[in-house]
Structure formats: structure tokens, C-alpha cells
Structure 1
Amino acid sequence: MSTTDRPASESGPEIDAENGPGTGRETGRDAIVRAARRAFTLRPYAEVTMRGIAADAGVSPSLIVKRFGSKEALFNTVADFRPAADALFAASPPALGRHLVLTMVRLRDRLRGDPLLRVVFSLGNEDERTLLRERFREQVTDRLAGLLTGPDPQLRAELIAGQLLGLGATLSLHRPDGAGGRTPPDRLADLYAPGLQRLIDGH
């Protein structure tokens, strides 16, 4: 599998005539990416089929080919963490802790799944897992480290990324009726953001 292809962006919904059965803001493309993310996370790459993704997304296989071209290109889209990072890091460092929590919850709602956890739970072969880890490090952890000032920015970035993965795992583990899912995002941020902010501040 090539690691040099630039994945297509997942950012923002599209408006077109091929939205498929998705409701509200979700488009056919959103549904395809969501189904592909689930498929590549739960099954090895070789076992994932375009037909299976199409059935899960409620679209035709030909629409997936039209939008993405190939299974490899679709995997590369799933392995792209940049759209999530763009949203997560769109705040100044003094406000970043709270922003991270609120944005994580909002992304989970919009994407109907966690934007980062696939790096942990992917069941692909070593090449696929390595690609996901490399992309995550480059697009999330290293990018965050570049935003931090003070000592040990790389270590702090890794710890912050771990905290975000922990938040996502906790919300996923206790869904659909866990306390986290019933708690307003602002309250989650009140409880979770201070620890993140201490790591961001570096003291």
C-alpha cells in the first residue's frame, strides 16, 4: 500500500445531488467516510470490500468509485487526521484546553464516531497500523508540539494526545447511555479541560 498518496480532505459537508440517504447535515460522502472508518477499524484491510462499505453507507459501490477511485484512496482518506487536527487546534494556547474538549465532543457528534480513536483500535496488518501511527504522529502530535512553548513540547504533546484518546475511549466505552453521553459539553470541559490546559501551559 502506498503511503505517498495525499488523502482527500474530510472537512465539511458537501452539497450535491448524490447525498444518498443521509439526513440533516450528513452527505453521501460523509456516510461513505464514516462507514469506511468503521470498516477499516474493525477489520483488516484485505477483508474490507467496497461493496460492504457501500452497503453500510447506504450508497451504491459505483458512487464510492466515483468519489474516491479505489479502496486504497478511500483508506488514505480514513488515515488522514488533518481535518480533525485543523478543528482541534483552532484556538490560541491559553484557550486550547477547553477548545479541545468541546471540539472533540462536537466532532464525535458530526462524524458519528471518534475522530482519533482509529489509530488505537485498527485491526489492519502491520503496514496499515504503521501508516496510521505515522500519520497520527505527523498530523496530530508533531503539529501540536509545534504550537507549544516552554520545556518538553514533544512530551507534552504526546501526553495531550493521550488525554484526548482517553476522553474518546471513555465516551465510546460507556455509550449510548453513560453519564458522559448525557452530560452537556460545557460540563465535560469544566471537568476535563483543566488537566489538558496544565499540559498546554507546561507548568
Structure 2
Amino acid sequence: MSTTDPSVSESGPEADAEPEAGTGRESGREAIVRAARRAFTLRPYAEVTMRGIAADAGVSPSLIVKRFGSKEALFNTVADFRPAADALFAAPPQALGRHLVLTMVRLRDRLRGDPLLRVVFSLGNDDERTLLRERFREQVTDRLAAILTGPDPQLRAELIAGQLLGLGATLSLHRPDGAGGRTTPDRLADLYAPGLQRLIDGD
């Protein structure tokens, strides 16, 4: 992967401009990561430009350079599933099923997009898709398997990960006016969490 985007200037009057903290608006970094996540999912790596990400995020290209350094570094941030995994697995096993559903919905709202689906829908080349799959397996599936007790933890972890991806895909497929979008997180958890919890428990 190339680490240089020739469309980016290192300087500019708005280089440090971003929404002020505490205003309730999305921070510059959050907006950049969200735009980059969408860009790298929808287009091959070679077609993604820092300028295009900046335009989508509503910031200057030079701010992206200041925050991340290069397109490759920004891609590596997008390919990091650990923050999502930290939130998803922050509950004891006996309560994890419901926590997974509620956290997925809340992450989708906060991130304005699904925290996991890019592993499925990325249009990058084989190297990029392989990297995403390897990161997902290491940071999500293998980490979950280490939490589980009982028989077949790796298989159960893979099935749980698939259920989470399916939930995200379903909510995305039927937006903006699908029933899922009109349903409370608690009701979604009532319906979806029991199946997850059975896999977590190993019953």
C-alpha cells in the first residue's frame, strides 16, 4: 500500500480546525475515522484519497495528515476492531448475550455505522481483505473464544460473531424505515439475545 496521497497538502489555514469539545458535535477524529471506514469499505484502497475522506468528514486534508500521518496509517486504524471488541465483551458471560445486542445497537448509533460489517463488505484487494479478516479473527473471534467455557469454544465464538454480523447486516439492509430502526434496543435484545446466550453458555 502506498503511504502517500499526493492530493494532500501538509499545511492550510484550517489544518487544526475541528468542532470544539463539549459542543455535542462529532469530534474531528471521530468524523475522519467514520468517513475512512466508509471509504475503505465501499472502494478499493488504491481509489481512496485523503482529500475524499476529508471532504466526507468535513475537515481539511491537512488535519488528517496531522492526526494519522498517512493513508496507510488511517487504513490500519479502520482495520482495528479492538475498540469495538472492548465494548462488546465488557460483560460477564452470564449476561453477555443481551449486552452484545445492546452494545451493537449503541455502537451503530454512536459511530453512524456498523462497527464490524466492514470485514464482510470491504472492496479492497486480496491483501487488504485478508488483513481485515485476520484482524477480525484475532481481535474479535479468538478473543471471544478465550472468554467462553465448555465445549467447542472456537466454533461457538465463530457462530456468535456470525450472529452479530447478521444483526448488523439486517439493520443496515432495512434502513432507514425498517422495523428494526423503529424498535427499541431493549426489544431487539429481548428477541435476539436468547439465541446468542445459548451459544455463549454452550447448551
**Residue aligning to 1:27:** 27
When Rg is computed on C-alpha atoms for both structures, the one with the higher figure is 2
Cα deviation per residue 1:136-162 (whole Å; 9 max; x = unaligned)? Answer: 000000000000000000000000000
Cα distance in structure 1, aligned partners of 2:3 and 2:196: 32
Q: What stretches of structure 1 of length at least 5 have no aligned partner?
A: none
**Offset, 1:49:** 0.1
1:171 CA drift (Å): 0.1
In structure 1, how many angstroms separate the alpha carbons of the residues matched to 2:163 and 2:11?
A: 23
Aligned partners of 1:14, 1:86: CA distance in 2, in Å?
A: 33
Deviation at 1:62, TM superposition (A): 0.2
Distance in structure 2 (CA, Å) of the matches to 1:31 and 1:66:
14
Cα deviation, residue 19, structure 1? 2.9
Q: List per-residue Cα deviations over 1:78-117 (Å, max 9, x = no partner).
A: 0000000000000000000000000000000000000000
Q: Cα–Cα, structure 1 residues 50 and 9, in superposed 2: closer, same or farther, change >3 Å?
A: closer
Offset at residue 7 of structure 1 (A)? 23
Contact persistence 1:117–1:168 (CA under 8 A): yes
CA distance in 1 between partners of 2:13 and 2:189 (Å): 26
Higher mean alpha-carbon deviation, 21-30 vs 130-139, is at 21-30
Query: Does the 8 Å CA contact 2:35/2:53 hold for their aligned counterparts?
Result: yes
Q: How far 1:24 sits from its partner (Å)?
A: 2.3
RMSD after superposition: 5.5
1:159-197 Cα distance to aligned partner (Å, 9 max, x none): 000000000000000000100000000000000000000
Structure 1 length-normalised TM: 0.91
Q: How many residues align?
A: 203
Q: Which residues of structure 2 form unaligned runs of 5+?
A: none
In structure 1, distance between residues paired with 2:189 and 2:158: 20
Tell whether the 8 Å contact from 2:33 to 2:78 is kept in structure 1 after alignment: yes
- SS of structure 2 residue aligned to 1:102: helix
Q: CA deviation at 1:26?
A: 1.5
